[in-house]
């Protein structure tokens, strides 16, 4: 499984590096548009994968205007694509904030307490991808 995941990640990285153009089986062009290529999280940490059986979880989030998520952290990698809206993410340990808008790709902090607020007029829509140890959750709320 780890070898398959590594192969998929390498192929994806190659696509991002080249801005690949390909053809489908009928010869119709397929355009690949790079969205992100990073080796660190939003707070500058190296991206590390879970050590045990990796499970990929994919979900969507809809965050209402003005809503603030509770303070939380992720023990494993989490990636998010902003499909709509404007989201401000604040690391509550350092006070540093990043603002993400439609079309941005977020590589979230690992193990650092943070929270996010929808600072726009409309809902924030996220496509979220987690890589966790099989059966684990990727969000811990601060008590």
Backbone angles phi, psi at 42, to 5 degrees: -60, -25
* Claim to verify: residue 40 and residue 30 sit in the same structural domain: no
What is the residue range of 12's domain?
A: 1-34
**Which domain CATH number covers 68?**
2.60.120.10
Model confidence at 84, pLDDT cuts 50, 70, 90, reads very high
| Alpha helix positions (H), 1-143 | 2-18
* Claim to verify: residue 41 and residue 97 sit in the same structural domain: yes
- Tell whether 25 is covered by a domain: yes
Q: How far apart, in Å, are the Cα atoms of 95 and each of 65, 72, 98, 128, 141?
A: 22, 14, 10, 24, 18
| Predicted confidence (pLDDT) per residue in 6-56, tens digit | 434 444 444 444 455 566 677 788 888 888 888 899 999 988 888 889 999
* Claim to verify: residue 25 and residue 69 sit in the same structural domain: no
Q: How many residues does the chain have?
A: 143
| Spatial CA neighbour of 109 closest among 63, 65, 140, 66 | 140
């Amino acid at each position: 499984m780890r070898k398959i995941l590594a192969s998929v990640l390498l192929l994806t990285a190659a696509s991002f590096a080249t801005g690949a153009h390909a053809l489908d089986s009928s010869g119709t062009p397929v355009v690949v548009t790079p969205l992100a290529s990073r080796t660190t999280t939003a707070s500058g940490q190296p991206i590390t994968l879970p050590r045990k059986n990796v499970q990929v979880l994919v979900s969507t989030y809809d965050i209402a205007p003005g809503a603030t998520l509770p303070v939380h952290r992720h023990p494993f990698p989490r990636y998010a694509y902003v499909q709509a809206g404007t989201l401000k993410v604040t690391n509550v340990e350092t006070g540093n904030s990043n603002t993400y808008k439609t079309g941005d790709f977020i590589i979230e902090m690992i193990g650092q307490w943070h929270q996010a607020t929808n600072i726009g007029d409309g809902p924030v829509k996220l496509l979220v991808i987690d890589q966790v140890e099989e059966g684990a959750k990727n969000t811990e709320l601060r008590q």
